[in-house]
Amino acid sequence: MKTFDHYDARSIDEALGLLGKHRGKARLNAGGTDLLGLLKDRVLPQYPELIVNIKTIPGLDYIEEDGERLRIGALARLCDLAGSRLLQERYGVICEAALAVAGPQIRNVATIGGNLCQDVRCWYYRYPAHLGGGMLCARKGRGPCFAVKGDNRYHAVIGAGKCFAVCPSDLAVALAALDGHMTLVSHRGERRVGVGDFFSPLRNVLEADEFVKEIDVPKASVPRLQRFLKFTLRKPIDFAVVSVAAVTEVKDGIYSDARIVIGGVAPGPFRAGKAEEELIGCEPGDAVAAQAAEAALEGARPLSKNAWKIEVARALIKRTVYR
């Protein structure tokens, strides 16, 4: 890796000060499992001059409930999420998603904030600079999206434009199904963004001088039936080709609440409102699950080689909704 300056931040304020001072040329490092890959392959259009270690900021790894919300500090590790009794009891879909990420060694260091902020896995975007030069593309601010004319078998089928890379985060899918929000702080103040709204086709909405501090989920009306399933090519450790989080509530024999979120098909976690409409008010069963699966990606516009992902999504929805 090309060298950089390094600083152990002791507080969020200190980290924000450094981000402001270096104006886009400093990067925060938590678990590092995504950032180090980007640096080794020189993927980023601008190589950082400073890496700010935020693991040294104390007290940002909590997982707790207060009166209204489940609150998770951005530095909580994926192994902490998977092993948390509180999450296992009431927010099982978060545990399932955390366990689905990579292998144990990565879950032991990777954080929830980093999982949400990680960069896309598009093979054109990630093309290593040391193999004949990197590929400048729309996502890097100059050039086309190579996936449109190229090999797009893993790219987006819905909601993309300019860049067809998909959101690689499994936790984003689970959190979006629970109506999760992220708290972003900067010297300008704090703002809360829904996990679903954090992502957009060319980049996430995090500004260069912002810091993800906390992830929260409203406690009221958390549905009891929660499930996360992920389809990968290499079963034990891989990014999702497609993933689905289904969070439902059945009252008096009919669905009273249903949230279906699909990962790996769009620039962010895709909330399948049409599938939810099919379920609500119906009796759980094979047939209604199949209808929901059919409706989920209505309006999708696959590229030349990725229509198969829609079939995968349908199969996963059937399995997550009806067990």
Partner 1 sequence: MTGEIFASNVESAAGDKQMSLMVNAHSYLLTVGNRPGEVDPAHTLAFTLRETLGLTGTKVSCDKGACGGCTVLMDGKAVLSCMLLTIECGGKEITTIEGLMEPKTGALDPLQQSFIDHSAFQCGFCTPGMIMSAKALLAENPSPSEEEIKEALSGNFCRCISQYQVVEAVKAVSGKKR
Q: Is 29 near partner 1 (CB under 8 A)?
A: yes
8 A C-beta contact, residue 240 and residue 217: no
Q: Which stretch binds partner 1 (CB under 8 A): 52-60, 86-94, 176-184, 296-304?
A: 52-60
Q: Is 58 near partner 1 (CB under 8 A)?
A: yes
As a residue count, the chain comes to: 323
What CA–CA distances, in Å, run from 143 to 95, 124, 136, 163, 230?
39, 12, 6, 10, 32
Nearer CB in complex with partner 1: 52/145: 52
Min dist CB 143 to partner 1, Å, is 24
Structure tokens that stand for 298 in this block: 């209505």
Candidate list 11, 53, 186, 256; residue touching partner 1; CB under 8 A: 53
Nearer CB in complex with partner 1: 14/249: 14
CA gap 112, 121 in Å, rounded: 18
Binding mask 74-113 for partner 1 (x = CB under 8 A): -x---x----------------------xxxxx-xx----
Candidate list 86, 206, 237, 250; residue touching partner 1; CB under 8 A: 237
Q: Is 32 near partner 1 (CB under 8 A)?
A: yes
Q: Which stretch binds partner 1 (CB under 8 A): 13-21, 36-44, 139-147, 180-188?
A: 36-44
DSSP 8-state code for residue 198: G
Nearer CB in complex with partner 1: 1/307: 1
Q: Which stretch binds partner 1 (CB under 8 A): 48-56, 156-164, 182-190, 206-214?
A: 48-56
Candidate list 13, 21, 24, 40; residue touching partner 1; CB under 8 A: 40
CA gap 245, 172 in Å, rounded: 10
Nearer CB in complex with partner 1: 100/160: 100
CA gap 221, 249 in Å, rounded: 9
Q: At what angle do helices 308-321 and 286-296 cross, to 10 degrees?
A: 150
Candidate list 60, 147, 241, 279; residue touching partner 1; CB under 8 A: 60
What CA–CA distances, in Å, run from 309 to 183, 188, 232, 265, 297?
32, 41, 11, 7, 10
DSSP state string for 82-144? HH-HHHHHH-HHHHHHHHHSS-HHHHTT-BHHHHHHPPP--TTTT--TTTT-----GGGTSS-
Binding site for partner 1 (CB under 8 A): 1-6, 8, 10, 29, 32-33, 36-37, 39-40, 51, 53, 55-58, 60-61, 75, 79, 102-106, 108-109, 236-237
